[in-house]
């Protein structure tokens, strides 16, 4: 998450504000307490990055 934000010269805080996410939700994801985020959470994160969700999932991290 930090890498994606940094690639767009944004902070995580900027991304969550723009995407309409809750800080607690992102904190849980980043700390590993939440292992399986809802698709709606991923969509909001992508919205905050101005990134299409299909592009998000079409990265090397999801290909095996």
What pTM value is reported for the model? 0.85
Residue 12: CA atoms inside 13 Å, Cβ hemisphere, count? 11
* Domain boundaries, given as residue ranges, for the chain: 2-54
Q: What angle do CA 9, 1, 45 make, to 5 degrees?
A: 85
Q: Which CATH number fits domain 2-54: 3.10.105.10, 3.30.70.420, 2.20.25.160, 1.10.260.40?
A: 1.10.260.40
Q: What is the pLDDT of residues 17-64, one digit of tens each?
A: 999 999 999 999 889 898 899 999 999 999 999 999 999 898 877 776
H-helix or E-strand spanning residue 55: helix 53-57
């Amino acid at each position: 998450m930090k890498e994606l934000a940094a690639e767009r010269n944004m902070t995580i805080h900027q991304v969550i504000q723009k995407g309409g996410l809750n800080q607690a939700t992102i904190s849980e994801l980043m700390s590993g307490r939440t292992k399986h985020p809802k698709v709606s959470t991923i969509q909001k994160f992508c919205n905050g990055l101005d990134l299409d969700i299909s592009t998000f999932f079409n990265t090397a991290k999801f290909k095996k």
